[in-house]
Structure 1
Amino acid sequence: MSWGTETALVAGTGHLPALLLAAKPDMLICEMEGFAPAVEGGARLSFRVERLVPFLDALVEGGIRQVVFAGAMQRPRLDPELFDPKTATLVPRLLGAMQAGDDATLRAVIEIFEEWGLSVVGADAIAPDLVPGAGVLTGDVTAADRKDAARAAQIVAALGAVDVGQGAIVAQGLCLAVESLPGTDAMLAFAAAHKGLRPDPAGAKGVFYKAPKPMQDRRIDLPAIGPQTVENVALAGLAGLAWEAGGVMLLDRAETLRAAQEHGLFLWAREP
Structure 2
Amino acid sequence: MQTLAILSGSGALPFQLSKAYPEAMRVVFHGVEHRLLAPVSEHRFDQLGALFDDMRANGITDVVFAGGMARPPLDPTQFDATMMTLAPRLMAAFQSGDDAVLRLVIAIFEEQGFNVVGAHELMPEITAQEGLIAGEEPSASHLSDAARATDILLALSPLDVGQGAVVAHGLCLGIETLQGTDALLGFVADTPERLRRQKGGVLVKIPKRGQDLRVDMPAIGPETIHNAAKAGLDGIVVSAGKVVILDREATLAALDQTGLFLLARVM
What TM-score, normalized by structure 1, do the two folds share? Answer: 0.93
Q: In the alignment, which residue of structure 2 is the partner of 1:15? A: 12
Q: In the alignment, which residue of structure 1 is the partner of 2:222? A: 227
The 3-state SS of whatever aligns with 2:186 is helix
Structure 2: gaps spanning 5 or more residues: none
Instruction: Write the mapping of 1:171-182 to structure 2, written as runs, cut at 5 A.
Output: 171-182=168-179
Structure 1: gaps spanning 5 or more residues: none
The 3-state SS of whatever aligns with 1:89 is helix
Displacement after TM superposition at 1:190 (Å): 1.1
Does 1:92 pair with 2:94? no
One-letter amino acid of the counterpart of residue 165, structure 1: G
**Deviation per residue, 1:114-156 (Å, 9 max, x gap):** 1121110001122111012211111221110000000011111
Q: In the alignment, which residue of structure 2 is the partner of 1:142? A: 139
More off after superposition, 169-178 vs 17-26: 17-26
Question: 1:258 and 1:82 mapped to 2: Cα distance?
Answer: 45
More off after superposition, 156-165 vs 60-69: 156-165
Question: 2:12 and 2:35 mapped to 1: Cα distance?
Answer: 8
Does 1:107 pair with 2:90? no
Q: In the alignment, which residue of structure 2 is the partner of 1:244? A: 239
Q: How many residues align?
A: 265
Q: In the alignment, which residue of structure 2 is the partner of 1:124? A: 120
Displacement after TM superposition at 1:199 (Å): 2.7
Over the residues paired in the alignment, what is the CA RMSD in angstroms?
1.3
One-letter amino acid of the counterpart of residue 110, structure 1: I
**Deviation per residue, 1:8-34 (Å, 9 max, x gap):** 000011111111112111111111111
- In 2 relative to 1, CA 154–104 (structure 1 residues): closer, same or farther, beyond 3 Å? same
Q: In the alignment, which residue of structure 1 is the partner of 2:212? A: 217
Displacement after TM superposition at 1:231 (Å): 0.4
Question: 1:263 and 1:188 mapped to 2: Cα distance?
Answer: 15
Checking the alignment, whether the CA contact within 8 Å between 2:2 and 2:59 is kept in structure 1 is: yes
The 3-state SS of whatever aligns with 2:262 is strand
**Deviation per residue, 1:184-203 (Å, 9 max, x gap):** 111101111115132345xx
Q: In the alignment, which residue of structure 2 is the partner of 1:186? A: 183
What TM-score, normalized by structure 2, do the two folds share? Answer: 0.95
Question: 1:200 and 1:57 mapped to 2: Cα distance?
Answer: 57
One-letter amino acid of the counterpart of residue 209, structure 1: V
The 3-state SS of whatever aligns with 1:99 is coil
Question: 1:84 and 1:263 mapped to 2: Cα distance?
Answer: 50
Aligned to 1:55, which of 51, 67, 75? 51
Percent identical pairs in the alignment equals 46
Q: In the alignment, which residue of structure 1 is the partner of 2:254? A: 259
Checking the alignment, whether the CA contact within 8 Å between 1:243 and 1:270 is kept in structure 2 is: yes
Checking the alignment, whether the CA contact within 8 Å between 2:61 and 2:114 is kept in structure 1 is: yes
